Amino acid sequence: MRPGGRDPIGEAARLLRERRGAVALTGAGISVESGIPSFRGAQGMWTKYDPMEYATLHAFVRSPRKVWEMLSEMISVCGGAAPNAAHKGLAALEEAGLLRAVITQNVDGLHQAAGSRRVIEYHGNLEELICLYCWKRYRTRERWSPGPAPRCDCGEILKPNVVLFGEPIPWLPQEQAEEEARTCGVLVVIGTSAQVSPACDIPRIAKESGAAVVEINPEPTSLTGSVADVHLRGGASEVLLRLQEALSRGGDAPATGPSGH
């Protein structure tokens, strides 16, 4: 318990126990400990690749080979990554009946690799390649290898089935994510800067629909102290392990550890 009596880990555990139907919303921060860089911040992808030149649909159509420089790096890095304790912690919460879905902005497939069963991929995934001209689809591992950009049988350069800036969110994950946000008891928001629309609307939708919002992030975000009821400050793995401990004890967390806002 912190001085003043507030124990954010204990508070988050209480919310998860008492308000059934928790859902997680994850961003790049949850995969940082798996060796996948986030987008923003000092070590982020956008310090190396200008998103306007490498991450828009317009850029892909104009110069797909250039955009593939970044995409190839992402596929290589994500392909070699394994789920960390945070991905596994969410899978364990689902197994225990305390979490019913993960909505993720990530395209790395690590929630499924950790054992999460209901994963809503809001920005698509790197598993599949699609032709923007004839709409044929391929498994990435069957068509891609480091080197020249992969091509469709029709001759055009393929695009990973991920959402680039300027593309709409596919309707099914968007509908599913909004339904989860409208009906969940708790939304646990992990490792997102909440700067990209429309994913950043999900916490607000949950809050306005009556859910409690728990944020896990080492840094404050635009959600902290406004939309978020509880901010568990720290890395995703460390915080989720402590949350799992608190849930298994059925009571408050011990005195040390991540602080709340």
Among 12, 39, 186, 257, binds ligand OAD (CB under 6 A): 39
Contact 55, 164 (CB under 8 A): yes
Choose which of 116, 161, 217, 244 interacts with ligand OAD (CB under 6 A): 217
Determine, following the binding rule CB under 6 A, whether residue 110 of this chain makes contact with ligand OAD: no
In angstroms, the Cα distances linking 26 to 64, 123, 129, 235 are 28, 11, 23, 13
Q: 10, 12, 13, 27: which one contacts ligand OAD (CB under 6 A)?
A: 27
Least CB distance to ligand OAD at residue 251 (A): 25
In this structure, what token pair is assigned to residue 155? Answer: 């001759």
- Whether residue 214 contacts residue 232, with contact meaning beta carbons closer than 8 Å, is answered with yes
Q: Is 235 in the site for ligand OAD (CB under 6 A)?
A: yes
- Count of residues near ligand OAD by CB under 6 A: 27
**Residues making up the chain, counted from first to last:** 261
Q: Indicate whether 188 belongs to the interface with ligand OAD (CB under 6 A).
A: no
For position 205 contacting ligand OAD by CB under 6 A, the verdict is: no
Site string for ligand OAD, 152-171 (x = CB under 6 A): -----------x-x------
Applying CB under 6 A, which part among 131-139, 177-185, 211-219, 250-258 lies near ligand OAD? Answer: 211-219
76, 146 in Cβ contact below 8 A?
A: yes
- Residue (148 or 166) nearer to ligand OAD, CB: 166
Q: Which of 87, 111, 123, 231 is catalytic?
A: 123
Using the rule CB under 6 A, is 38 a contact of ligand OAD?
Answer: yes
The residue at minimum Cβ distance from ligand OAD is 29
Is 84 one of the binding residues for ligand OAD (CB under 6 A)?
no
60 lines the binding site for ligand OAD (CB under 6 A): no
Q: Which residues are catalytic?
A: 123
List residues near ligand OAD by CB under 6 A: 27-30, 32-33, 38-41, 44, 55, 105, 123, 163, 165, 191-193, 195-196, 217-219, 221, 235-236
